[in-house]
Structure 1
Amino acid sequence: MESEASQIILIVTTIIIITFVIFIILLFTVFQKRKNSLLELQAENKKRFEREISETQIEIREETLRNISWELHDNIGQLLTLAKIQLQNASSENIHEVSETITKGLTEVRALSKLINPEAIKNIKLREALQLEMDRFNRLKFINASLIISGNEHIINEKSSIIIFRILQEFFSNTIKHSKASNLTVELKFGSINLEITAKDDGVGFSSLDNKPNGIGLENIKNRAKLIGATAVFTSEENKGTSLNIVYKL
C-alpha cells in the first residue's frame, strides 16, 4: 500500500512539475512574442519619426526656396530696378536717394542669406526661426506679424523644433494665402513642464472645420504633433479669425 501511495504521489508530483514547466515555457513564449512585437513597433515608430523629420526638413527647404523666389522677384528685384532708374536720373540733389535704395537692397540681401543658409534649416532653433518669419512678413508687408515670448525659456529638442516650426509654417501659409488677415500673432508661453504655442490671425475664419480652406491640413498637423507627444487644436469663427494652439511637453 505504501509503495502504491508513493507511486501515486510521484506521478502526481511529476505531472504538477511538468504542467508547471509547460506553463512557464508558454508564459515565456508569450512574453517573448509581446516583447518582440513591442520592439518591432518601437523600431517602426522610430523609422516613421525619422522619415517624418526628413520629409519635414525637405518641406521647410522647399518653402524657403519659394520664399526666396518671392523676395527676389517682388522685393529685391524691385529695389534693383528702382536703383537703376534712380542712377539713370542721378544728380547731386537726389544721389542720397540712390544710396538709400542700394543700402536697403543690401539689407534685404543679408536677410535673405539667412534663409539660404542650410545650417539654419538643419540646426533650426524655434525662436530664431519664428522671428525670421515674422521679420520677413513685416518686411515684405504681407501681414503685421509679431512674436511674443513669456516665461522662462527652455531649450527645445532639435527634432521637435523642426516639427513645430513646420506646423506653424503651414498655419502661416494658410493665413497669408486665404485668411485676408491684417495681423498675425505668435506666442510662446514657457511653463514648468509645457510649452504652449498660440498662433492667431484676425482673418475671415470659417464657421466649421467642414468649411475650412484648403491648405490648413488639419489632420496632417495633428498627426505631426502626435509624433512629438504634442497636441494641436484649431479654433475659428467666421469673420473673427483662426487660431492654432499647440501644447508640447518640455
Structure 2
Amino acid sequence: MGIEEQIYIMIYSTIFLGGVMSTFIISMIFIHRQRQAQNRQKMEQLKAEYEKTMLDIENEIQHETLSHIGRELHDNIGQLLSLAKLNFNSSRPEKKTEGQSILNQVIQEVRALSKTLNLDWVEETSLEDFILQQLKKIESTGFCTTTIDRVEHNLHLPKDHKLVLIRVVQEVLNNAIKHASPTKIDVTISSDEEGKYILIQDDGKGFDVSTASTGSGMSNLKKRMQTIGGQFQITSQINQGTEIRLSLPN
C-alpha cells in the first residue's frame, strides 16, 4: 500500500470518527434536553399537585370551621340570646342585670367565633397547642383517656406545613375514634438528628396494614405528607393497637 493510499485511509477514518463523535454528541445533547423537559414537566406536575393538596386542605378545614360555627350559633349562642331575652322581659332589676351579663358573654363568644372564619389562627396557634385542644375535646366526651408528651416544645413550622399536619392529625384521631375503639390515645411530639416527628398511638382494635394500606384514606394521608417532604408510617396488628408516625426532615 502506497503512502497516498495510507493518507487517504487516515483522512477517511478521521472523517468517519468525527462523524461518529458528532452524532454521539448531538444525541447526548438531544437526550439531555429531553430529560430537562421531562424534569420541568415533572416539577410542574408536583407543583400542581401540591397546590391542589393545599387548596383541598384549606377547603376541608374551612368546611369544618363553618360546621362548628353553625353548631355554636344554634346550640350555644342561640340559647344564650333566648336566655337574655327572658331576663330582659322580666320586671325584676336583678334579671335585667343578669341579661346584660349574658349579652356580654354572647359578644365574647361571637368574637371568638369570628377568629375561626379564616385561617389566621393557623399562624397564631402552635401545632402542640392544637393537638392538645383536640385531645382535650376527645377526653371531654368520655370516649377515652389521652396523653401528650412534648419532648420538642418549639416545633416551628411554615404555615403550609403546619396546615397539612393539622389536617393529617385530625384525620388520624378521627380514624382512631371511629374504627379503633381505644381506651387510650398517646401523642408524642419530638425531634432528633434526622428531623421532627409526631407519634400517635392507640390501644384499640388494630388492623391488618397490608390490606388497609391500599385504601384511599391511608393513601391520601401518605400523599399529603409527601407534598411537604414528610413521611407517613403506620404500624398495626389486630387487637394490638396502632402506631402512626408523621415525620418531617430538618
Instruction: Please tell me the TM-score bracket, short chain as reference.
Output: 0.7 to 0.9
Deviation at 1:69, TM superposition (A): 2.1
Residue 5 (structure 2) aligns with: 4
Deviations 1:115-169 (A, max 9, x none): 2234335887534544554566567878766654323624213222221111112
Contact 1:171 1:216 in 2 (8 A): no
Q: How does 1:213-224 map to 2 (within 5 A)?
A: 217-224=217-224
Corresponding residue number in structure 1 for 2:47: 46
1:80 is displaced (CA, Å) by 4.5
CA distance in 1, matches of 2:227, 2:86: 52
* CA drift at 1:104: 5.8
Letter in 2 for 1:221: L
Partner of 1:245: 245
Instruction: State the partner residue of 2:150.
Output: 149
Q: CA deviation at 1:244?
A: 2.6
- The separation in 2 between residues aligned to 1:144 and 1:150, in whole angstroms, is 20
The separation in 1 between residues aligned to 2:193 and 2:45, in whole angstroms, is 31
TM-score for the superposition, normalised by structure 1 = 0.75
Distance 2:70 2:237 in 1: 33
List gaps (5 residues or longer) in structure 1.
none
Amino acid at match of 2:117: I
Residue in 1 that maps onto 2:31: 30
Unaligned runs of 5+ residues in structure 2 are none
Q: 1:42, CA displacement in angstroms?
A: 1.1
What is the total number of aligned residue pairs between the two structures? 247
Mean alpha-carbon deviation: is it higher for 183-192 or for 20-29?
A: 183-192
1:163 paired with 2:164, answer: yes
- For residue 199 of structure 1, report the CA deviation from its aligned partner: 2.8
Structure 2 CA distance for aligned equivalents of residues 171 and 40 of structure 1: 33
* Maintained 8 Å contact 1:170/1:216: no
Corresponding residue for residue 68 of structure 2: 67
The alignment's TM-score, normalised by the length of structure 2, stands at: 0.75
Q: Secondary structure at the match of 1:117?
A: coil
Three-state SS of the structure 1 residue aligned to 2:205 is: coil
Measure, in 2, the Cα distance between the counterparts of 1:242 and 1:28: 51
* 1:18–1:223 Cα change, 3 Å: same
User: How big is each residue's C-alpha offset from its partner over 1:25-75, in whole Å with a ceiling of 9 and x where there is no partner?
Assistant: 111111111121111111111111111111111111111112222333344
Does the CA-based 8 Å contact 2:62-2:118 persist in structure 1? no
Change (3 A) 1:154 1:76: same
Distance change in 2, residues 1:211/1:76 (3 Å): farther
Return the letter of the residue paired with 1:126.
L
Indicate the residue corresponding to 1:197 in structure 2. Answer: 198
* Residues 166-196 of structure 1, C-alpha deviations (whole Å, 9 max, x = no match): 1112123334555555655433213344111
- Are the structure 2 counterparts of residues 117 and 56 from structure 1 closer, same or farther at C-alpha, using a change threshold of 3 Å? closer
SS at match of 1:34: helix
CA contact (8 A) 1:200 1:244 kept: yes
The DSSP-based 3-state class of the residue aligned with 1:217 is helix
Deviates more, 1:123-132 or 1:63-72: 123-132
Distance 1:117 1:42, change over 3 A: closer
Relative to structure 1, the CA distance from residue 78 to residue 144 in structure 2 (aligned partners, 3 Å threshold; closer, same or farther) is farther
